[in-house]
Amino acid sequence: MRMIRQSGSRELEIRKSRFVCTLARAADEAEAVEFIARHRRAHRDATHNCTAYVVGEHGEIAKSSDDGEPAGTAGVPMLEVLTRRRLTGVVAVVTRYFGGVKLGAGGLVRAYSQAVAETVDAVGVVELVPAVTVTAAVDHALAGRFLGDLHARGLQPADVRYGRDVEADVAVPVPDLDEFEAWAAQVTAGRAALRRGATGHIEVPAAP
């Protein structure tokens, strides 16, 4: 799964019309619809609030609206940008304030596509990778070095607990599990107790 890294907005001006694209994450269709409704209420003075969203684990739900623009010139181009970037869990609204100069069908398609594409580039894209939470328990004498080694490896523990031992919960991508456990055993001379826990996802920067 690929998702936007964070919500965000970006504005561009084309022949005196302002196009403001706002992107947000949406866990499901209901959340996407609610976001659109809130946005339209907040920007009811705009000429158009055109929309597109893709939701579902595999992007199986994808819808768009031209909101009064000529059919196929706004919502569909917006949606094509999202699907071309292989995104899901995302909703886009492009708010247009008409500047008095008509752009024509081709100009509208380019404007709405550009607004979404530039905003996706601005907010960034992440990939959701299946991961398992591994709890590593080490004695206090090893804890400082082990936690430092985790950070150096690019792994940020979700939680660290200090008790009889020091326990750190680390989300490890599924393909890296065996290698991580071998590494942990090596850097602690076999003194780390490792326990696999819940399966979930972690976010990593997406390849272009």
Task: Indicate which CATH number applies to the domain containing 65.
Answer: 3.30.230.30
Domain boundary among 123, 143, 163: 123
Strand partners for 87: 2
State the pLDDT confidence band at 13, using cuts at 50, 70 and 90.
very high
Task: State which residues form the domain around 102.
Answer: 2-123
Q: Which residue type is seen at 207?
A: A
Give the rounded distance of the alpha carbon of 71 from its chain centre. 29
Structural domain ending residue among the three candidates 123, 150, 175: 123
Taking the C-alpha atoms of residue 155 and residue 134, their distance in angstroms, rounded to an integer, is 11
Whole-structure pTM value: 0.77
The residues pairing with 8 across neighbouring beta strands, listed in sequence order, are 23
- Residues 103-126 have pLDDT tens digits of 999 999 999 999 999 999 999 999
111 and 141 in a single domain? The answer is no
Q: Which two tokens stand for residue 140?
A: 């206090």
State whether 133 and 108 are in the same domain.
no
Give me the number of domains the chain comprises.
Answer: 2
Quick one: 30 and 116 in the same domain? Answer: yes
